Amino acid sequence: MHEFETLIERGSPDDFLFRQLDPARLPRHLAIIMDGNGRWAKRRGQARIAGHPAGVEAVRTTVENCARLGIPTLTLYAFSSENWRRPRLEVTMLMRLLQECLRREVPLLNRHGVRLRFIGRLEALSAEIRKALDYAVTMTADNHRMTLNVALNYGGRAEIVDALRAVAREFKVRGRSLDTLTEEDVARHLYTESDPDLLIRTSGEMRLSNFLLWQMAYTEIFVTDTLWPDFNRTHLLEALVAYQRRSRRFGGVETVGVPVPALA
């Protein structure tokens, strides 16, 4: 937390928000639906695709801030299995931008101790893209400060199907009956290693958009009208403060943690 605090101007809005945070109660796993790139560009009289490079800047600052705060896992929804329906030019540009970012950002990830992983049906991507993904994963594999999951060609329902197929194969080998199937069996074969504590969705949309459907059972949700390219450190801190002001019951009556006082 000290590294993060040194970057904040004393007496600024970010300083006010930061001082309300309890370092021991930060989310262990933060997920973000990065929405609004196209609308951000259109509001500026630009083509939709112009919003994606601006969105990359928001990704960079968010990853850096989460690493400095000490959040162990960050999962970003980058490209859904439904996004292939977008105009071909936009999809091509997104894949090209992804490759460029991987080449450019690996040193930054290593500097912040971030291990990069990709989740989704990656086998459907081109060989060129998969090679770029493998390179970035390999180059960051020894980092342990934070794990960054990037959901690519991802769908929540498809993930559950893949997990069930893996369970069926495992049970066949072990001679187990599907009647003995447990939630733990399914969870063990999901793409992520943990469930998000907090989901942030930008652009004001009130839906999960087929993202981490199994893992979101008890995730706290924070929605902001801010479009993704405009998402900055202040917005991140606002979401974290709001998260810590909630009581998480997980279906029970006992609260978890101590609520943070409301803003003055």
Active-site residue numbers?
35, 83
Comparing CA positions, the residue from 126, 39, 63 lying closest to residue 91 is 126
Cα 216 from chain centroid (whole Å): 12
Which stretches of the chain are assigned E, i.e. beta strand?
29-33, 73-80, 114-119, 146-154, 198-201, 220-223
Contact yes or no for 197/30 (Cβ under 8 A): yes
Comparing CA positions, the residue from 140, 139, 130 lying closest to residue 98 is 130
3-state SS, residue 30? strand
Contact yes or no for 212/193 (Cβ under 8 A): no
- Sheet with 198-201, edge to edge strand ranges: 114-119, 146-154, 73-80, 29-33, 198-201, 220-223
Alpha carbons 178 and 165: distance in angstroms, whole number: 11
Comparing CA positions, the residue from 120, 123, 124, 55 lying closest to residue 90 is 55
Position 11, amino acid: G
Comparing CA positions, the residue from 153, 264, 255, 171 lying closest to residue 211 is 153
Cα 174 from chain centroid (whole Å): 34
Ramachandran region, residue 203 (left: φ > 0; alpha: ψ -120 to 50; beta: rest): left
Q: What are phi and psi of 31, to 5 degrees?
A: -120, 145
